Copies of this chain bind each other. A is one copy, B any other.
Amino acid sequence: MPEAESHTVRVDLPGREYDVVVGEGLLADSGAKIAALGFGNRLAVVSDSNVAPLYSGPLLESLSSAGFEPSLHTVPAGEASKSVSVVEEVCREMIRAGHDRSSALVALGGGVVGDLAGFVAAIFYRGIPFVQIPTTIVSQIDSSVGGKTGVNAPEGKNLIGAFHQPRLVLADTETLASLPAREFNEGFAEVIKHAAIRDGEMLDDIMKVGGPRGLGSLVARNVAIKARVVEDDERETSGTRAHLNYGHTIGHAIEAAGGYGRFLHGEAISLGLVAAGRISSQKVGLGVDSAQRVNAALQKFDLPTQLPADIGTDQILDLMKTDKKFAGGQIRFVVVPELGSAELRSDITEEEITAAIEALR
């Protein structure tokens, strides 16, 4: 084992504190760690058709050894499972498996599983406790931490959901080794975003990444960034949590313009980060060299920095307007005045956004 130690990051929300444990091989010991939370013995494990064949075996075995009676609920892999109808189906399966308000849930998988299963936990019998076991870069450093759960509506992503904090997050970095290269790489869009908004020096470490092994420290460093933001602004009311949307206003619209199949989330966010970097340089003085460092990091992970010609700027702009980040019709746009800090602005014009999208061509 190149890295035997584990890292624990505490998410300090009053009354709902929890640990994010990061380390290689955690899955084998997950049952004991979950047993320490004091749940009843009934657990529903929710996973998807890609992850369950790889990791549900060791997880269920560890849970059974720790005295749990787990049931397994597997949804089809892919974003299409983040739907209201799949939420209902999982709830119904859990009812038929005998679960009730005394049960708890374990989400095993990437961002789709975490968002979906977390939402199931939020609304099953009006809410049961849950544990996240994220198996991708993005879910380990971002989506499993902070309690945002939910599904998509046909009209847009993540429009139906709830804030429901997990009771524990177990990020086993060994699972990252099984990711296809493209999915491994896409996760770094959010890592690079974290560097841009909170920790410019991390870009040096990002440039040294040589593969999926030995990533524990970097994952934990990113979890800590996310945890501090969530502690400051759990429900995205003060504006701090909105900093995490850096690159996402344009990125989400590009993802939607590609029909959610053409770009992986991180690939669309990569394009959004390039555009937001340009706006930051023009509007709040981000050094052009700093913006270039971000773009170079994206390119190191084969993330796109150029927009395909067939995706229209008008289409992207229209999609931006149905996005959640438009509170009361006003554009809230995150900019980075210097690497490591961010601010939320309402004075970014449609013209400036249009020019930044055009510059991606």
Report A's interface with B, CB cutoff 8 A. Answer: 40, 42, 84-85, 87-88, 91-92, 95-96, 100-102, 119, 122-127, 148-150, 153-156, 158-163, 322, 324, 326-328
The distance from the CB of A283 to the nearest CB of chain B, in whole angstroms, is: 24
A326-B100, A327-B101 known; A126+B161 contact, CB < 8 A = yes
The distance from the CB of A64 to the nearest CB of chain B, in whole angstroms, is: 18
Q: How far is the CA of A274 from the CA of B40 in the complex (A)?
A: 34
Task: Find chain B residues with CB under 8 A from A126 CB.
Answer: 148-150, 158, 161-163
Q: A326 — nearest CB in chain B belongs to which residue?
A: B100
23 pairs across A/B with beta carbons < 8 Å? A84-B84, A84-B88, A85-B88, A91-B153, A92-B154, A95-B322, A100-B327, A101-B327, A102-B328, A122-B162, A123-B150, A123-B160, A123-B161, A124-B159, A124-B160, A125-B159, A125-B160, A126-B148, A126-B149, A126-B161, A126-B162, A126-B163, A162-B162
| Option from B84, B127, B159 in Cβ contact (under 8 Å) with A163 | B127
Q: How far is the CA of A327 from the CA of B102 in the complex (A)?
A: 6
Task: Find chain B residues with CB under 8 A from A123 CB.
Answer: 119, 123, 150, 160-162
| Option from B40, B87, B91, B92 in Cβ contact (under 8 Å) with A328 | B40
Task: Find chain B residues with CB under 8 A from A88 CB.
Answer: 84-85, 153, 160
Q: How far is the CA of A119 from the CA of B161 in the complex (A)?
A: 11
Q: How far is the CA of A30 from the CA of B278 in the complex (A)?
A: 48
Task: Find chain B residues with CB under 8 A from A158 CB.
Answer: 126
Q: A155 — nearest CB in chain B belongs to which residue?
A: B95
The 7 closest A-B pairs by CB, nearest first: A102-B328, A84-B88, A95-B155, A126-B161, A102-B327, A123-B160, A91-B160
Task: Find chain B residues with CB under 8 A from A87 CB.
Answer: 84
The distance from the CB of A333 to the nearest CB of chain B, in whole angstroms, is: 16
Q: How far is the CA of A149 from the CA of B327 in the complex (A)?
A: 25
The distance from the CB of A280 to the nearest CB of chain B, in whole angstroms, is: 25
Task: Find chain B residues with CB under 8 A from A95 CB.
Answer: 153, 155-156, 159, 322
The distance from the CB of A97 to the nearest CB of chain B, in whole angstroms, is: 11
Task: Find chain B residues with CB under 8 A from A91 CB.
Answer: 153, 159-160
Q: How far is the CA of A162 from the CA of B87 in the complex (A)?
A: 14
Task: Find chain B residues with CB under 8 A from A148 CB.
Answer: 126
Q: How far is the CA of A160 from the CA of B149 in the complex (A)?
A: 15
Task: Find chain B residues with CB under 8 A from A328 CB.
Answer: 40, 42, 100, 102
Q: A87 — nearest CB in chain B belongs to which residue?
A: B84
Task: Find chain B residues with CB under 8 A from A96 CB.
Answer: 155
The distance from the CB of A331 to the nearest CB of chain B, in whole angstroms, is: 12
Q: How far is the CA of A124 from the CA of B160 in the complex (A)?
A: 5
Q: A124 — nearest CB in chain B belongs to which residue?
A: B160
Contact present for B153 and A100 (CB under 8 Å): no
Of A91, A96, A100, A156, most buried by chain B (CB within 10 Å of CB) is A100
